[in-house]
Amino acid sequence: MPTADADVLYIYPKEDHNGAFALCEDKGFIDGHMCFRLMSMARHFSVHFVRVASVQEAIAYVKALPSTMRLKHVVLGGHGMFRAMTWGNASSQSQSFMPYLHVDEPTAIEFLNVLYPHLIIDGADSHDKYHSTIFLDSCNNGKPVKDKNMLNFVAHRLAGAEIFASQVSFNAGEFVLDNYIHFSASIKSEKTGKDEMISTMFGPHLRELEFHPNRFCKKKEPVAAENIKQCAELCQAAGDKCGAFTYIPGDASGDSCFHSKRCKKRGKSEQGAMVFIKTASGQEEDPAIMEDHTAEER
């Protein structure tokens, strides 16, 4: 009998070429790994499970949820890579049918915007355990890349929730659910024995800013700030004098916050720097960076 005042939502793919997201195995047996996860959640939460073939279908489902429903945990599952998660047949893609969730794609942004009001973000800045958690149940969504992966994308669009993703390809047997009330899990690689799960979380104050991971503004001035929230607040308070800021988490030198009047050109960062821009107007992408993106997509 569920005891919590929030629900759990699983959105899984209709397109599943190898049965990785099936509830039953080929011989009709229930998948023990998946069953354990669902039953563990159902002891404390009302669990909603749906399969979709497109992002539009997922949007329609979430829109139909009661406006008062709050989701403690959400699982978005599908075959994936570092920039995408597949829900339907890719050959059927059209303007009205987007079969995969993809970084910065407009339909994907719309889906996350529709999902956001159902999340619990209270206490996010203090990392209170009672915030929503999202698990991207997809291979390589958390794999480090030169620009933005699915983990970065979803964490920004759902700022205030904690997002979990795998840095590698994995199978159901490598997933270990450590805590199903306040979601915590690991992905123990059969090859290395290492935990390949990674998580990230942004404060809600960063959601409305344009976000560029692994980048820094080339023209910038250091500003004393204890954390990313203070760096953002100081930039906001500076008005037109600060149109963007660069933040380098865990910088040993103590120079972690930089303000820029504008951020017309951005360089690549190997230190995990992040750029947040107040407004996209007047900003220009560095042509060299655009070439890198194109080459990597090939």
pLDDT digits (tens, 9 = 90+) for 168-188: 999 888 998 888 788 989 999
Instruction: Evaluate if residue 281 carries a pLDDT over 90.
Output: no
pLDDT of residue 26: 54
Spacing of C-alpha 147 from chain mean position:
14
pLDDT of residue 287: 39
Q: What is the mean pLDDT of residues 130-144?
A: 94
Grade residue 117 by pLDDT with cuts at 50, 70 and 90: very high
Which tens digits make up the pLDDT trace of 15-61?
Answer: 888 888 877 655 554 566 777 788 888 888 999 999 999 999 999 99
Instruction: Evaluate if residue 88 carries a pLDDT over 70.
Output: yes
Non-local (6+) Cβ contacts of 60 within 8 A are: none
Instruction: Evaluate if residue 282 carries a pLDDT over 60.
Output: no
Domain boundaries, the chain: 7-204, 209-297
Q: Cα–Cα distance between 138 and 280 in angstroms, integer? A: 31
Interstrand relation of 7-13 and 71-77 (parallel, antiparallel or unpaired): parallel
Mean pLDDT over each residue of the chain, to the nearest integer: 86
Burial of 70 from C-beta contacts in 10 A (0-12 / 13-18 / 19+): middle
Grade residue 250 by pLDDT with cuts at 50, 70 and 90: confident
Q: What is the mean pLDDT of residues 84-108?
A: 93
Q: Cα–Cα distance between 3 and 35 in angstroms, integer? A: 19
Question: Where is 232: in which H helix or E strand?
Answer: helix 228-237
Question: Where is 150: in which H helix or E strand?
Answer: helix 150-157
The CATH number of the domain covering residues in 7-204: 3.40.50
CATH class of domain segment(s) 209-297: alpha beta
pLDDT of residue 16: 87
